[in-house]
């Protein structure tokens, strides 16, 4: 069948093309100025977390995203081959101990005064505390994190995170993450956090991560039991806090490749270990390294530790 060709008067054709270009330009400008609400959700620490592509559109290939694109809080099908240096400090108890305190507990207890001196030293030396979502952005999506990013974490959900640590963190305008054991958050044991304290912690700059239901070594469990520990803790935290909790820490640092796969299946995006180091690999976002801070670390030890690992 012959194809018909439309012949336009040159002047009419030129006017037609200019009008069409103006229409397209107007549509593009309107779209770029619009506030997009579908597929996004504000996080508790500011910013916008995207949960996927446009409805009916093609799947998003997050592994190819550059630093200026949105970064979905969703594990990509293909993780990028990227490494970044972000120290993750691991604290446990912020309080006081005495001669009757078990030796291991004494070693894990940093006094509030020492904790504040360390955080003030970080600020004075140009370190910037970041959130888990910022770490995800930098690690998986290649966002620029700026100079000296650092993450502060506090394990086990002790109540002194609320009474001792968080006032210091808030006063200094810093950020941190508290990994909580959900089976201990009942209010019956005064050593651990209460449910009503978790939203208050978030308002003070301390976001919440999961540390399982009962703080058990995961490699000793079956797949079903290990998955249950991880999924149940995440779900109850999300229900209580009314937002996603895709951040996790392995109890005792006890994990292997099987547990790492199960953590991904349980819906986590980032998980911290007790492996020593500050270099994080985007190929293993569920096996992040950390630097342990003890009662004997003090400011001098913290400075030396960061100098050796950054």
159-210 pLDDT, tens digit per residue, is: 999 999 999 999 999 999 999 999 999 767 889 999 999 999 999 999 999 9
Burial grade of 152 (CB within 10 A; 0-12, 13-18, 19 or more): buried
| Structural domain includes residue 269 | yes
DSSP annotation of 72 reads B
| Structural domain includes residue 51 | no
Burial 12-42 (b: 16+ CB within 10 A, else e): eeeeeeeeeeeeeeeeeeeeeeeeeeebbee
| Structural domain includes residue 103 | yes
Burial grade of 101 (CB within 10 A; 0-12, 13-18, 19 or more): middle
Per-residue pLDDT of 27-79, as tens digits, reads 333 333 332 222 333 345 543 333 333 233 333 333 333 344 468 999 999 99
Contact 122, 168 (CB under 8 A): no
pLDDT at 108 over 90: yes
Rounded-to-integer distance, Cα 58 and Cα 119, Å: 45
Rounded-to-10 torsion of CA 65, 67, 70, 76: 40
Give the number of other CB atoms < 10 A from CB of residue 222: 8
pLDDT at 277 over 80: yes
Proportion of the chain above pLDDT 90, given as a percent: 75
Which pLDDT does position 89 carry in this prediction? 99
| Structural domain includes residue 222 | yes
Rounded-to-integer distance, Cα 265 and Cα 281, Å: 19
Nearest residue to 138 (alpha-carbon basis) of 280, 266, 299, 24:
280
Residue with the two structure tokens 């910013």: 47
What is the count of structural domains for the chain? 1
Contact 200, 239 (CB under 8 A): no
CATH at residue 210: 3.20.20.370
| Structural domain includes residue 18 | no
Rounded-to-integer distance, Cα 203 and Cα 237, Å: 16
| Structural domain includes residue 6 | no
Which pLDDT does position 242 carry in this prediction? 98
**β-bridge mates for residue 176, sequence order:** 206
| Structural domain includes residue 26 | no
Which pLDDT does position 35 carry in this prediction? 29
- Rounded mean pLDDT of 86-110? 97
Which pLDDT does position 58 carry in this prediction? 31
| Structural domain includes residue 59 | no
Domain that holds residue 218: 83-309
pLDDT at 273 over 70: yes
Rounded-to-integer distance, Cα 30 and Cα 119, Å: 45
pLDDT at 217 over 50: yes
- Rounded mean pLDDT of 83-112? 97
């Amino acid at each position: 069948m012959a194809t018909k060709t439309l012949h336009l008067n040159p002047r009419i054709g030129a006017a037609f093309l200019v009008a069409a270009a103006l229409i397209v330009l107007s549509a593009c400008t309107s779209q770029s100025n619009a506030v997009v609400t579908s597929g996004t959700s504000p996080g508790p620490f500011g910013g916008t977390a995207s949960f996927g592509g446009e409805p009916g559109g093609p799947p998003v290939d997050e592994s190819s995203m550059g630093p200026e694109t949105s970064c979905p809080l969703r594990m990509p099908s293909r993780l990028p081959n990227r490494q970044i240096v972000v120290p993750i400090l691991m604290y446990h108890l912020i309080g006081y101990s005495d001669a009757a305190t078990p030796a291991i507990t004494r070693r894990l207890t940093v006094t509030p005064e020492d904790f504040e001196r360390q955080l003030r030293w970080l600020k004075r030396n140009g370190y910037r505390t970041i959130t888990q979502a910022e770490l995800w952005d930098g690690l998986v999506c290649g966002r620029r994190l700026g100079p000296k990013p650092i993450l502060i974490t506090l394990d086990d959900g002790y109540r002194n995170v609320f009474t001792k640590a968080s006032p210091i963190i808030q006063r200094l305008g810093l950020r941190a993450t508290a990994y909580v054991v959900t089976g201990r958050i009942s209010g019956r044991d005064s050593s651990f956090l209460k449910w009503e304290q978790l939203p208050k912690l978030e308002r003070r700059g301390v976001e919440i991560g999961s540390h399982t239901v009962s703080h058990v070594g995961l490699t000793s469990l079956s797949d079903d039991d290990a998955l249950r520990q991880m999924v149940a803790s995440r779900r109850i935290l999300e229900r209580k806090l009314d937002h996603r909790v895709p951040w996790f820490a392995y109890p005792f640092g006890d994990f292997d490749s099987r547990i790492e796969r199960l953590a991904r299946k349980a819906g986590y995006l980032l998980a911290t270990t007790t492996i020593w180091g500050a270099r994080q690999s985007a190929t293993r976002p569920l096996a992040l390294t950390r630097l342990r801070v003890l009662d004997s670390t003090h400011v001098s030890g913290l400075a030396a530790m960061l100098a050796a690992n950054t």
